[in-house]
Structures are given as structure tokens and as C-alpha cells.
Amino acid sequence: MTTLGTALSQAQGQGMDRLDAQLLLLHVLGQDAHDRAWLLAHDSDALPAAAEGHLAPLVARRAAGEPLAYIIGRREFFGLDLEVNPSVLIPRPDTEILVEWALEHLPTTTDQTLRVLDLGTGSGAIALALKAQRPGAQVQALDWSEAALAVARRNAARLSLDITFAQGNWLDSNHQRYHLIVANPPYVADADPHLSALAHEPLQALTAGPDGLQDLSTIIASALGHLYPGGSLLLEHGHKQAVAVRELLAVAGFCKIASRRDLAGIERCSGGQQSLEPHPHAHASLRTIGSPAAHRPPR
């Protein structure tokens, strides 16, 4: 007889780490992903044959390198249980830094007048985390990919979080203003060797030109005109991009430019503020940094 305990050891024997094996086992048993304590308490229970049959191919997929989040269709982000599938990037713990920083810009007493935009929302992770923490804010979320928007809309509906979604190419044809714009855009260089480890995720959500700065440049160049005076743009970027992003923000005319470090001490997010005085020369020489603005639709 296969018990839950032996099934766990077998999955680990096939190269899965213990946490992944536990999450997968909970998934085939139809148990809550948070309930690892249940699993420990039922270690010597028999694994039902149907669950065993379901488990084997999933363990094989994981062993072949498919991310666990896609196999179980779920990922936790900022305390929210999110649906994910291969049309969206799997939310990363790094991005929680951006959410925390954004929350510092949104007072807890936030009322309906505060307008927030999440660009390239993917699964909706950032927008949903902000709305969950600041229910009073008006949160909009945009993506290029209709398939990603479908996932984000389902997440919002399941979590009963009221977000306005739109399809679009960054800020093109958007005529609104916001108090806060946030984005975790694609920022990996087209030829980055790390991409081979991310082969299951949508390339459109990952890569942005030869230096990875193409979408960050596009967003920075257009965001100032979409912020109210005093409003902020906060961006996640790659681990070697902070200097370039701060420079793009400066050239575009942002003030109070700053960066935030991740848990490993790496500058992971940068942002700036629309000054209270409109900047007369904003956008003037933006193209001096980063890649030329050859265009491709972002996710």
C-alpha cells in the first residue's frame, strides 16, 4: 500500500524538493495548499488509487522542469491565492518589495479619489495585492495579452476585489491620470542565458530588447504625463538595471528618484515622482539611454 508518507518520499526520490512534493500531494488530494499540517497528520493514510494515478504524471512534469505553480495552477502572492497558467508570469517574492513600496505611497485611509494603475498586470498579482490592502483605492490594471487578462479577471472575481481591467500597449491611448503607476514589465535582455531556466514562462512577459530596458524606457518616457503632480511611478527591474533606470527617470524629468533593495540587498525597484511644478524639458533626450525604440508589443 502506498501511504501519503511513502508517496512523498517517492516524489522526493524523483528530484522534487520536499515543499513542492507536499504541495503536489495536497493538490491531487484536493486539500488546501496551505494545509501541510494536515499532510503530516495523515502521513500513514493510504493514498487513494485515483490520486496516485493523478500524481505520477505530475511528478514527471515537475522532474522535467515545469514550474510547480503551472502544474497545480496556483501561486501565493502577498497572502493571496492566485490562479496562474502559462500565459502569465509566475508572481515572484521579489515583486512583493514593489507592493510594499507602493503601499507606502497609499495611505491606509485611502479614499475613492486615489487612482492606481498596474501596467503589465499578468495574473493581476500587484493590482490585487494593492486593492486587498487598500480597498478604498481605485485600481486599474492593464495588459497586452488577452489570455493574461482572462486569468487576472478570474483572480479578481474569485477574491472579490474590484479592479478595472483594460487591454493595451502600456500607456498608448490612455488619457487618464493617476496618483500611482506601478509595473513589473519585461526586463530580461533578449539573449540573457538565464532565459533557458524560464522556458515555461511567456517570453513576452520576460524579454525587452538587447539590454532588457526597452519596455522600462517606453513606460518611463510616457508616464509623467499620466501622473498627477506629486504622483509616483514605481518599477521593478533587473538586478543590474538600477543605475540605468534612475538615469531614464532623471532624463524624463522625474524628481525624488530612489531605489529599493530586495532581501538579497540588490536594487530591485526604482521610481520617481512627478514634481509639483511641470517639467519643461521632460522627454527631451530620453533616447540617449537604453535601446533604440524599436517597437514590439509587450505583454
Q: Kindly list the residues in this chain that would bind ligand GLN in the complex (CB under 6 A).
A: 89, 92, 94, 184, 186-188, 198, 206
Q: Of the two residues 120 and 231, which places its CB atom closer to ligand GLN in the complex?
A: 120
**Partners of residue 143 on adjacent β-strands:** 167
HEC-encoded secondary structure of 159-187: CCCCEEEEECCCCCCCCCCEEEEEECCCC
Structure-block grid coordinates of residue 161: 476585489
Q: Of the two residues 89 and 224, which places its CB atom closer to ligand GLN in the complex?
A: 89
CB of residue 246 vs ligand GLN: minimum separation in angstroms?
Answer: 18
CB of residue 240 vs ligand GLN: minimum separation in angstroms?
Answer: 11
Q: Of the two residues 66 and 94, which places its CB atom closer to ligand GLN in the complex?
A: 94
CB of residue 262 vs ligand GLN: minimum separation in angstroms?
Answer: 10
How far apart (Å, rounded) are the C-alpha atoms in residues 110 and 281? 32
CB of residue 207 vs ligand GLN: minimum separation in angstroms?
Answer: 8
User: Are residues 166 and 140 in contact, defined by beta-carbon separation less than 8 angstroms?
Assistant: yes
HEC-encoded secondary structure of 8-46: HHHHHHCCCCHHHHHHHHHHHCCCCCCCHHHHHHCCCCE
CA 251 to chain centre: 26
CB of residue 66 vs ligand GLN: minimum separation in angstroms?
Answer: 15
CB of residue 203 vs ligand GLN: minimum separation in angstroms?
Answer: 10
Site of grid cell 510616457 = 222
Q: Of the two residues 8 and 213, which places its CB atom closer to ligand GLN in the complex?
A: 213
Contacts of 183 (CB under 8 A, 6+ apart): 118, 119, 120, 219, 233, 234, 235, 236
Neighbours of 174 (CB within 10 A): 18
Q: Of the two residues 52 and 94, which places its CB atom closer to ligand GLN in the complex?
A: 94
> Concatenated DSSP letters for 180-208?
EEEE----B-TT-GGGGGGTTS-GGGTB-
Q: Of the two residues 186 and 271, which places its CB atom closer to ligand GLN in the complex?
A: 186
